[in-house]
Amino acid sequence: MVPDLLKLRGFFDRLAGKSARPFNRLGMRSTDFDLSALLARPPRKIDQKAARQLIAGKRVLITGAGGTIGSELVRQVAEFEPAKLALVDNSEYALYQIDLAMHEAGHGDVLFSSLTDVCREEHLDRVFEICQPEIVLHAAAFKHVPIVEHNRCAGALTNFLGAKHVFDAAIRQKAETVVFISTDKAVNPTSFMGATKRIAELYAQALDVAQNDTRFVTVRFGNVLGSTGSVAPLFIRQIERGGPVTVTHPEISRYFMTTREAVQLVLQAASLDSAENTIVTHDGRVFVLDMGEPVKILDLAKRMIEAYGLVPGKDIEIKFAGLRPGEKLFEEIFLDTDKLVKTGADGVLLASPAMIDLPLLNPRLQEVIENAKLGDQDALDEAVHHLVPEFSPTPGEAIDQSNKSIQ
């Protein structure tokens, strides 16, 4: 029997279009998996010239550098020959992995790795002072919806306060461009995670309009196929244990992209102004990545079972577990009131979400921060609702560990 790790790697190699590593389960070999069929659209051919122009010879800092999106940002940015590449993460193992990979790929001479929590402002400021980044890519976040739903104070501190520290440090160091990685869950959010990301969007927009030194760009996209905490690795584990595979609802659907494609489009969106050789605009831009048609999670589960040479419902049972706290049946990448504008870059659209001026925004933001630090979940919910009225928390829905004693 081939070790589970090799089977996992083999499956994701097939997803990425690489040659499959053979593995056995019940004496069968998995068939090749057609990623383009899963996405219901052909893979995009993304011109990376503008991204190279944005990054080449620049000092670049990436937060959440050890995560799924962060590590792919690191790999792609490194290929564009930055003058310096600073990796920031609060996970020692995740930072070790991406640092090792970059040294093995021959990028060690430009690398600076920092085990830093974005919630620790003094520590983060020190990193910015050392690196003096010109380009900042902020990917650090708590993203798992049910976990953040039950740990709201921690979620608010990382997803908003951490983002605020990064944005403020970038302005103090007069960085040229800050790219904020957001999510479709920030649109009309039903989850606390989505609401915190929307608040960070509001702050990035307000900062972009309020000053002219640092350009802030927000990029929204949906689920990344195979990312940590997503359904694909969960389904793999369930299939290899013999099932059942658990789907929350027969009609639930999500937008999906490959990690590589999402990061290419993020960098393309960030470089649009430089590509067009225009005067940099400060209008609180929020870019939306066109992720094609949403994919039913039930269909995804069936395809993954079939990729193992097994029959859904016969060899592997599929069970419906019910929606989890904060989950929607489907995600939106923009509100009906947003006007999406084509950018000239395939796969990148420009949205126009509502903004709040910085003087009006700051007092509300401070309420969010103070209540999150105090661990006062009820007051935090109210403060978040004031900033994001479409988010209506259900009383008693979450159990924040900072408010719960262990008996």
Residues acting as catalytic residues: 185
For 32, counting Cβ atoms within 10 Å of its Cβ (0-12 exposed, 13-18 middle, 19+ buried), the class is: exposed
Name, in order, each residue with C-beta under 8 angstroms of 176's C-beta and a sequence gap of 6 or more: 58, 134, 135, 214, 215
User: What dihedral do alpha carbons 122, 123, 129, 131 form, nearest 10°?
Assistant: -160
Is the CB of residue 21 less than 8 Å from the CB of residue 6?
yes
Is the CB of residue 121 less than 8 Å from the CB of residue 70?
no
Phi-psi region of 40 (alpha: psi -120 to 50; beta: other; left: phi over 0): left
Report the distance separating Cα 151 and Cα 231, nearest Å: 21
Report the distance separating Cα 23 and Cα 2, nearest Å: 6
Record the tokens describing residue 133, joined without a space: 């980044």
Rg over CA atoms, the chain: 21
Question: Closest by alpha carbon to 287, among 177, 368, 196?
Answer: 177
Pairing of strands 295-296, 253-254: antiparallel
DSSP SS3 for 242? coil
Question: Closest by alpha carbon to 63, among 194, 165, 208?
Answer: 165
